[in-house]
Amino acid sequence: MSRPVSDLSAPARAALGRHDAIVFDGECVLCSGFFRFVLRHDRAGRFRFATAQSPLGQLLYRDLGLPTDAFETNLVIVDGRIHERLPAFAAAMSALGCPWRALALSRAIPEPLSSALYHAVARNRYRWFGRTDHCLMPTPELRDRFLDLPAAA
């Protein structure tokens, strides 16, 4: 299930522009690994990024009715649609193209099973993969790939 970007507030839409984006928990080792994987394989530079802890990340989570203190889902925005949970992973892999597009087959996992698996990993991700004590900060060369709220927001 995905939602249109038009469901977001005007400041959130302005910050996203027409970019495809990934919003991830910058303190979660697994989530930051997902970010680094996408960054490494996004040869076309299609995706922009924001951490869930950033002002933009917080706004997006609020707009979507998600908790702003427990980031159990990455958000993946592709072609004007917002994806959460396992469909977010599938959307990102599909957008990366071959050979990663094959991982989008995760969409074929039946809903009750995919939700149960996703929530089990989300609830235990800090224990299984670790947590940093600080939010990820982009290097100067990556800074242009990160999204911010407009100054007026």
Q: For residue range 53-100, what is the model confidence (pLDDT) as tens digits? A: 999 999 999 999 999 988 888 999 999 999 999 899 999 999 998 998
For the chain, which residues make up each domain, given as ranges? 2-133
Measure the CA–CA gap between 19 and 15, rounded to whole angstroms: 9
Measure the CA–CA gap between 101 and 94, rounded to whole angstroms: 4
CATH number of 2-133: 3.40.30
Read off the pTM: 0.87
Give the pLDDT score at 134. Answer: 63
CA-wise closest residue to 74 among 102, 103, 52, 101: 52
Rg of the chain's alpha carbons, rounded to an integer?
Answer: 15
Q: For residue range 2-59, what is the model confidence (pLDDT) as tens digits? A: 999 999 999 999 999 999 999 998 888 888 889 999 999 998 999 999 999 999 999 9
Measure the CA–CA gap between 49 and 144, rounded to whole angstroms: 9
Cross-strand partners of 47: 20
Cα first-last separation, the chain: 28
